[in-house]
Structure 1
């Protein structure tokens, strides 16, 4: 594999123009225009962050990608999400969206995710997959582990597709774990083991979202035991200096 600096140069001067050429036909789709208008008028729900943590909806999600650097053309190839209301249920609604990439996916990524070239070829393009996720998560607070990575990837993909930015209310379960369990490694696997949460097959977007939702429920109960009762208060705790 090329060093990162050479990958960047390769992407800028060779792959990026090809990528833009390949997505050009999609920009004329009706679904593209609908998504563009929806994002242009999208406004984050600040009021939801002021409600009691046990009275709002959460969409816990995970992305499977072709790499860690969307800035050099790595893509989202699947989204898994679980929507819950408060702490009543960790599996109220589920979404598993496979996304057709523009660039070829290497064998290592296919083995890791369990996806096949045929399934990717027959799946929806990013604009339709993201639209499904947007509809699924509407009116909820997004949760990811770590949210910084997943939100960065989503924003980079939207920018690459010449779409407006997306700024929902977000909670980071990784930061919650750092705060609540300072002496434990904060990756998903050590936390699942520590809390006795059943481990499912990893690097499957929906499985990872389900496990993260179970982790999030544990973290939420501990958070409320600390006297924090709104997402706004929790954000202040997690990001205080």
Structure 2
């Protein structure tokens, strides 16, 4: 693995141009134009922000990526998500999709995530996967742990693919944890153990989303004691 300064230079002078070249055929497809139109005209449901946070619909999601820096060409290689209705423990709708990357994926990433090259070869393009994820999460609040990473990654990829930036309402579950449980270690593994949540295999997007959803529902049970009533209250509290 290269030092970060060399990785930056490598991307700026070599890989960025190759990446742009490989994207060109995709930007001429019907799928690209359909998604561009959808993102350009969509309006998010602002009424969701006024809902009681213990009753609102949420999509908890997780990304597996080839690295931590989308600005340096790192890509999404899987998206996992689960829909919940506040604190209601009903059967959940689930979403999982492998995403076929533009650049080759390092073996260490495959080892970490348990994916195979065949999984990725059979995966959807980013255009297809993002479109399906949009449909799955429609009319819900997005939640990630931490959303600061996952939302930024999605928005950076949209920009790279020359698509309009999508800014659906979202909650950073990790920031809520820091507010509500200041004496806990806030890493996901630590919180899962603290709340007695069944540990699934980590670094699998759907598994991580499922565990985060269970943690988030426990957060929702406790959050009213902090004076938080609506989704909007929680978002403002996180930002304060």
Specify the TM-score bucket, using the shorter chain as the normaliser: over 0.9
Partner of 2:123: 123
Match of 1:35 in 2: 35
Moved more, 16-25 or 203-212: 16-25
C-alpha separation in 2, matches of 1:23 and 1:6: 24
Q: Does 1:7 find its partner at 2:11?
A: no
C-alpha separation between the residues in 2 aligned to 1:42 and 1:4? 37
Structure 1 spans left out of the alignment, 5+ residues: none
Which residue pairs with 1:111 in the alignment?
111
Number of aligned residue pairs: give it.
240
Give TM-score scaled by structure 2 length.
0.97
Does the 8 Å contact 1:90/1:213 carry over to 2?
A: no
SS of 2:46 mapped into structure 1: coil
The match for 1:219 is 219
Length-normalised TM-score, structure 1 = 0.97
What does residue 154 of structure 1 align with? 154
Partner of 1:63: 63
- Which position in structure 1 is the counterpart of 2:50? 50
Deviation at 1:90, TM superposition (A): 6.4
Distance 1:12 1:117 in 2: 26
Cα offset for 1:227?
2.9
Alpha carbon RMSD of aligned pairs, Å?
1.1
Query: Given that residues 56 and 231 in structure 2 are in contact (C-alpha distance below 8 angstroms), is that contact kept between their aligned partners in structure 1?
Result: no
Q: How big is each residue's C-alpha offset from its partner over 1:177-207, in whole Å with a ceiling of 9 and x where there is no partner?
A: 0011101111100001110011000000000
> Could you give the per-residue CA deviations for residues 6-47 of structure 1, whole angstroms, max 9, x where no partner exists?
111111111111111111111121111111011111233322
CA distance in 1, matches of 2:123, 2:229: 40
Distance 1:181 1:54 in 2: 18
Match runs of 1:142-221 below 5 Å: 142-221=142-221
> Matches of 2:215 and 2:108 in 1, distance apart?
28
Please say if residues 91 and 210 of structure 1, whose CA atoms lie closer than 8 Å, have aligned partners that are also in contact. no
Distance 1:235 1:114 in 2: 34
Residue 93 (structure 1) aligns with = 93
Matches within 5 A, 1:224-235: 224-235=224-235
Kindly indicate whether the alpha-carbon contact (under 8 Å) linking 2:55 and 2:88 is maintained by their aligned counterparts in 1: no
Partners of 1:86 and 1:34 lie apart in 2 by 32
Contact 2:54–2:221 at 8 Å: present in 1 too? no
- How far the C-alpha of 1:91 sits from its partner, in A, is 4.8
